[in-house]
Amino acid sequence: MKNTFILGFFLFAFSSITAQDYSYVSDRIFDGPESFFGYDFKPSVMEVPNESKDEIDPGDYSFGVTSRNLYVEGEGIRGVYSMNNIGPTEYGYKIATMNTRDARIQGHLKIILNRRGQVNALIFRRSQKDPEIIFTLPEIDEDMNEAETEYFTDLREMEIESADSIWGTTIYPFLRIHQQSAIQERLFDYDSTFINFEEVVTIEEKVKKVKAAKKKKKKKTDEEEMEELDIEDVAAEMPKDSVDIKLKITKTYFLNLQQLVRYQDETEKMEMERYEITKVNEREDETAKGNEERFQIEFTTKKGVPVYLYLNENRQVSSVEIADKLYLMRGF
């Protein structure tokens, strides 16, 4: 009963949080065992060698990997499998599994990587008595790739010269990681998720009336009196008092997060979160190399919500951390 509840909970978590679409080969680069944790693979083709090869709908079969278990969905193989170990191989990684209900059912999941570290296929074997089943991940088609290239922020696309230059910038992340559950959620353009750094300039006028200074009277010559008569009409229209206008310029900074939120009852709602930024601080990790995150820009918010922007060695945006969620750029 307990295992049934755990299986249902995690399968529900994967399916409800993540969109029901295929996992594409180009979605993510995996650079170690930990990068698989929380990821839910949804293949498009299932093949039993020498028997059958069929196209499958998104989510008909899926493989959710956590740090301890493999959660498998699909007819004939559905279940929770303990991960005895996960290790590198010449083709990628291999997870040794054991069914949590029956320790005699031991099998494996082979994760096949290409040269870029992307997953091409999964080979699952439920037990030593069952055949290996090959699940292939689809390649993204040209139209979809062009649309996503246009919409999402790529890993090396956006350069931030300094912390002050972030204002007015909008980031469109590709992957959202729920850090409490460790579930990785692939985003799509219809999710309309974006992170915007906004500067609001407020100009306030302060008007002060200034009385005209009185001048001492002196005896005028006849010529001066004639000049006064000539400009009498103009002088009559001139104000005796004047005003002093001062401008007060105030700059306020905000982070705006828009995202489509999926709830347990399968409803969806577009939500906007707005955080006022009160302080900005930058740190550098001089030991970071290559594409590792070298710069961290910390934003202190009025609500106390932690916000961090991470840049690589070329000061290009790689990820953004807001509260308990981490947002990755396309190609991470």
pLDDT of residue 208: 74
CA dihedral 30, 32, 37, 39 (to 10 degrees): 10
Beta bridge partners of 69: 82
The encoded tokens of residue 99 equal 């069914």
Provide, rounded to the nearest whole percent, the portion of the chain with pLDDT above 70.
84
pLDDT level of residue 228 (50, 70, 90 thresholds) = low
pLDDT of residue 292: 85
| Nearest CA among 280, 260, 257, 285 for reference residue 270 | 260
Residue 236 host element (H or E): helix 232-237
Q: Which residues of 90-117 are buried (b: 16+ CB within 10 A; e: fewer)?
A: eebbbbbbbbbeeeebbbbbbbbbeeee
**Out of 14-23, 169-178, 211-220, 307-316, least confident range:** 211-220
pLDDT digits 0-9 by tens, 70-105: 999 999 999 999 998 999 999 999 999 998 888 888
Asked if pLDDT for residue 56 goes beyond 50, the answer is yes
| Mean pLDDT of the region 253-278 | 89
CA dihedral 155, 160, 161, 162 (to 10 degrees): -140
pLDDT of residue 196: 97
Residue found by looking up tokens 């060695």 in the block: 313
Q: How far apart are CA 46 and CA 56, in angstroms?
A: 7
pLDDT of residue 2: 41
Provide, rounded to the nearest whole percent, the portion of the chain with pLDDT above 90.
68
Q: How far apart are CA 14 and CA 41, in angstroms?
A: 10
pLDDT level of residue 148 (50, 70, 90 thresholds) = very high
Asked if pLDDT for residue 1 goes beyond 50, the answer is no
